[in-house]
Amino acid sequence: MINKPRLRARPYEPFYVSPPKWSPPSFSAISSHHYRSAVKLIQYAQAECITQQFKTSFFIISAICLFHACLECYINEYIGLILFSFEEQDRKDTVKRFMSIQDKPLGRGKLNGYLDACGARDHFEATAVEDVVALCELRDRLYHHSAEMKPFNEYPQAAIVVLNKVGVPSMNSSWVSLVSHLEVGNWARKVTERFVERHCAITGWESPFSGQPPAWNSGL
């Protein structure tokens, strides 16, 4: 007998009494907040790096984690719209499928599951998908930092993949220092924007990077 994975608990309860007796269903989107915070950190890093020969900043690591959070929330928010539509149509099996995807942390498994469930895989270039996976895996090494006593020149595989993609020159330095390079932060931003732009083109949503309110990059 195969045990099916259980959906995570989703407890909600009223926080205040709404004036009307019926409150229309809605959710708050926060992907844009993570994006704007990450871009601000990149801007702080750029200002800090002006006088540096080797452009590193401690702002970059946090920006990488926030760009990952932006993508995860963006996907979950779109799934939220899908769930509402399918619940209205009483498509319980499809609802469970998307809820199980939404429950997972963003990585290769969730990304592949989402693109397959939406039928969007063929609309994305393989390099764009692999870049998102590389961002996720680097973020995992930064957010779930498994500190070990290692030789100075031994780097996590996830860091090596990204450093090779970006082309940051190798030097006698720790992996954390090289990952803190400004170009790594710029790469994380481009990966995030490229995925969101492509997703919008597929779904027919307006690009959030038009520069005009309420665009994500408005005023940045």
Q: Give the mean pLDDT of 106-119.
A: 96
In which band, very low, low, confident or very high, does the pLDDT at 163 lie, cut at 50, 70 and 90? very high
Give the residue with greater pLDDT, 112 vs 173: 112
Amino acid at 220: L
Q: What is the DSSP letter of 123?
A: G
In which band, very low, low, confident or very high, does the pLDDT at 210 lie, cut at 50, 70 and 90? confident
Angstrom distance (rounded) from CA 110 to CA 115: 9
Q: Is the pLDDT of residue 87 over 70?
A: no
Sign of CA dihedral 194, 202, 108, 26: positive
Angstrom distance (rounded) from CA 58 to CA 65: 12
Q: Give the mean pLDDT of 92-119.
A: 93
Q: Contact, 65 vs 142, CB < 8 A? A: yes
Q: What is the pLDDT, as a whole number, of residue 102?
A: 94
Q: What is the pLDDT, as a whole number, of residue 1?
A: 47
Q: What contacts 168, CB < 8 A, 6 or more positions away?
A: 178, 181, 183, 184
Q: What contacts 178, CB < 8 A, 6 or more positions away?
A: 56, 155, 159, 163, 168, 170, 171, 184
Q: What is the DSSP letter of 207?
A: P
For the chain, the domains span: 31-203
Q: Contact, 129 vs 107, CB < 8 A? A: no
Q: Contact, 31 vs 77, CB < 8 A? A: yes
In which band, very low, low, confident or very high, does the pLDDT at 178 lie, cut at 50, 70 and 90? very high
Q: What is the pLDDT, as a whole number, of residue 103?
A: 94
Q: Is the pLDDT of residue 2 over 60?
A: no
In which band, very low, low, confident or very high, does the pLDDT at 139 lie, cut at 50, 70 and 90? very high
Q: Which of 11-15, 36-40, 212-216 has the highest mean pLDDT?
A: 36-40
Q: How many helices (H) and strands (E) does the chain have?
A: 8, 0
pLDDT tens track for 22-47: 666 666 799 999 999 999 999 999 99
Q: Contact, 79 vs 111, CB < 8 A? A: no
